[in-house]
Amino acid sequence: MTTIGIIEDDAVIREGLRTYLNRLPDYRCVVVAGSVEHFLEAPLTDEPVKVLLLDIGLPGMSGLDGLKLLKQHLPHAKVIMSTGNDESTYIFRSFNAGANGYLFKKNLFAEVRNAIESVIDGHAYLSPIVTRKVLDFFNAPPTEQIEITARERQIVQCLVDGLSYKLIADRLDISLDTVRFHLKNLYKKLRVNSKSEVVSKALKSNLVS
Amino acid sequence: MTTIGIIEDDAVIREGLRTYLNRLPDYRCVVVAGSVEHFLEAPLTDEPVKVLLLDIGLPGMSGLDGLKLLKQHLPHAKVIMSTGNDESTYIFRSFNAGANGYLFKKNLFAEVRNAIESVIDGHAYLSPIVTRKVLDFFNAPPTEQIEITARERQIVQCLVDGLSYKLIADRLDISLDTVRFHLKNLYKKLRVNSKSEVVSKALKSNLVS
DNA sequence: TGTTCTGCTACCCAAACATGTAGTTGTGCG
DNA sequence: CGCACAACTACATGTTTGGGTAGCAGAACA
């Protein structure tokens, strides 16, 4: 028996999901709430929630903020986020907070069963649109082509690691002035004029990790 | 008609794929090669390849290196990478290079059709294990919780934007000393001691964008 | 009503940095 | 060979920064 929890403020969707899932064999919705707060107040059932469907746009505490809290109460539950919004920021923050899946409401009923089965199996489930976003995240930078030499890349990496000129000189076993020299060149190439800007630009452009 | 290209050095898998796909209605393998080099030498067909199945572990040029090259020759083709290896580094580098999907060989025949249909529809397709890796990537950093005030976040954003103390003071309309004051607090919270490290840490921790 | 916290201002000093100019190697290329 | 170029060294100057200490005002909270 797969026990489901639902937190969703839209009553139509909430009850629709409950009805739909309860009709499936081996599925039971054991806790259904309109907000994170209500969910946490709900009396504990004998059956712990195995899969939690969590809306992001909720009254009171957002699903995103609630996720970490809920994870503490239900450490073994898999959590599938749902939202009508496709803003990447929500997606990545959900992953960061430990979500196991991500669905869009427009595909909710079509995909929810697959999603539940995936996360129960220990996999993750992402709506195709989300997968697209994730790939875009990696692929995204229509990066202004910046050509830097291997040596310069080393220098940049040192900066990103937070080293001072002196420490860079030590690590790369070159003189302080040489470090300065490379930095000067980097500043020209990146069209910046401070260490911090190099770090910022390098990280944003995936020049280094 | 969905035209397929296959680059795969293992003859058994290669021919198995070709046979399997050619038997499906509306699918035709128009170019099949054992390496990137051979693929590029193959005579052009009337039908451009719409979907390319690209092995990563190839003799000669690796699929990873070949991907960018192939994208130039087949700018409109969708590329699905396949590998027996689940090293995350390959996965993310594939995405970076513009792959549209990622399959494991152990699931190749079970998933290849779904994968092709997904990428044709403009979606992405990831093997469940890959999705897991991707989520882990975001979730991984058991992120040391860093609490900074709204004001401090503004300061950090300014640093990331490459401003000097003086310019930060101007932008936020506070005194130079106040900027210094906030920076000192940030250094303590982030346990660093330079502007660059703040920028680096902030970007890596998604404190700001 | 007093404590605590955030945000703010101020001053000082040594270290680190930004920027210029000027020159020496060693490698690869036509 | 001679040139270009990456990598490197050196010196000089003024600016920015990191780190310390010290104090004030308003909001929040008990």
pLDDT digits (tens, 9 = 90+) for B112-162: 998 898 788 777 787 877 777 777 776 655 555 667 888 888 899 899 999
Q: Tell me whether A192 touches chain B (CB under 8 Å).
A: yes
Chain A residue numbers touching B121 (CB-CB < 8 A): 128
What string of DSSP letters covers chain B?
-EEEEEE-S-HHHHHHHHHHHHHSTTEEEEEEESSHHHHHHSPPPSSPPSEEEEESS-SSS-HHHHHHHHHHHSTT-EEEEEES---HHHHHHHHHHT-SEEEEGGGHHHHHHHHHHHHHTT--EE-HHHHHHHHHHHH-S--------HHHHHHHHHHHTT--HHHHHHHHT--HHHHHHHHHHHHHHHT--SHHHHHHHHHHTTS--
Instruction: Say yes or no: Cβ of A191 under 7 A from any atom of strand C.
Output: no
CA atoms of A155 and A161, how far apart (whole Å): 10
Using DSSP, state whether A61 is helix, strand or coil.
coil
Count other C-beta atoms under 10 Å from residue B188's C-beta: 10
Compare CB distances from A199 to B100, B138, B200 and report the shortest one's residue: B200
Compare CB distances from B124 to A131, A195, A196 and report the shortest one's residue: A131
Model confidence at A58, in pLDDT bands (50, 70, 90)? Answer: confident
Model confidence at B86, in pLDDT bands (50, 70, 90)? Answer: low
Model confidence at A146, in pLDDT bands (50, 70, 90)? Answer: low
Length of chain B measured in residues = 209
Count of pairs with CB atoms under 8 A, one residue in A, one in B:
102
Q: How far is the CA of A1 from the C1' of C28 (A)?
A: 70
Q: How far is the CA of A190 from the C1' of D5 (A)?
A: 19
What average pLDDT does the structure give for chain A? 85
Instruction: Say yes or no: Cβ of A55 under 7 A from any atom of strand D.
Output: no
Greater confidence (B72 vs B103) lies with B103
What is the per-residue pLDDT for A53? 94
User: Does residue B53 have a pLDDT over 90?
Assistant: yes
Q: Tell me whether A160 touches chain B (CB under 8 Å).
A: yes
Determine phi and psi for A10, rounding to 5 degrees: -75, 110
What is the per-residue pLDDT for A69? 83
Q: Do A203 and B199 touch (CB under 8 A)?
A: yes
User: Does residue A19 have a pLDDT over 70?
Assistant: yes
Using DSSP, state whether A43 is helix, strand or coil.
coil
User: Does residue B101 have a pLDDT over 80?
Assistant: yes
CA atoms of A124 and A118, how far apart (whole Å): 6
What is the per-residue pLDDT for B29? 94
Residue A77, exposed/middle/buried by CB under 10 A (0-12, 13-18, 19+)? buried
Q: How far off is chain B from A117, nearest CA to CA, in Å?
A: 12
Length of chain A measured in residues = 209
* Cα-trace Rg, chain B: 24
pTM (predicted TM-score): 0.60
What is the per-residue pLDDT for A163? 92
User: E strand or H helix at A71, and its extent?
Assistant: helix A63-73
Compare CB distances from B124 to A95, A135, A194 and report the shortest one's residue: A135
Chain B residue numbers touching A196 (CB-CB < 8 A): 159-160, 162, 195-196, 198-199
What is the per-residue pLDDT for B194? 92
What is the per-residue pLDDT for A27? 95
For chain B residues 137-176, those near strand D by a CB cutoff of 7 A are: 164-166
Q: Tell me whether A120 touches chain B (CB under 8 Å).
A: no
Chain A residue numbers touching B198 (CB-CB < 8 A): 196
Model confidence at B33, in pLDDT bands (50, 70, 90)? Answer: very high
Q: Report, as an integer, the average pLDDT of A9-16.
A: 94
Torsion of CA A88, A86, A132, A209, to 10 degrees: 0
Model confidence at A133, in pLDDT bands (50, 70, 90)? Answer: confident
CATH numbers and ranges of domains, chain A: 2-138 (3.40.50.2300), 150-204 (1.10.10.10)
Distant-in-sequence, close-in-space partners of A88: CB < 8 Å, separation ≥ 6: A133, A136, A137
Residue of B93, B100, B131 to mutate for A, most A C-beta atoms under 10 A: B131
Highest mean pLDDT among A57-66, B27-36, B86-95, B149-158 belongs to B27-36
Greater confidence (A147 vs A142) lies with A147
Highest mean pLDDT among B62-71, B93-102, B191-200 belongs to B191-200
What is the per-residue pLDDT for A144? 57
pLDDT digits (tens, 9 = 90+) for B87-98: 677 777 787 778
Instruction: Say yes or no: Cβ of B174 under 7 A from any atom of strand C.
Output: yes
Compare CB distances from A132 to B123, B132, B198 and report the shortest one's residue: B123
Q: Please state the separation of Cα A113 from the chain's center in Å.
A: 22
Q: Do B134 and A134 touch (CB under 8 A)?
A: yes
Q: Tell me whether B25 touches chain A (CB under 8 Å).
A: no
Nearest residue (CA) to C1' of C19:
A184
What average pLDDT does the structure give for chain B? 85
Q: Tell me whether B160 touches chain A (CB under 8 Å).
A: yes
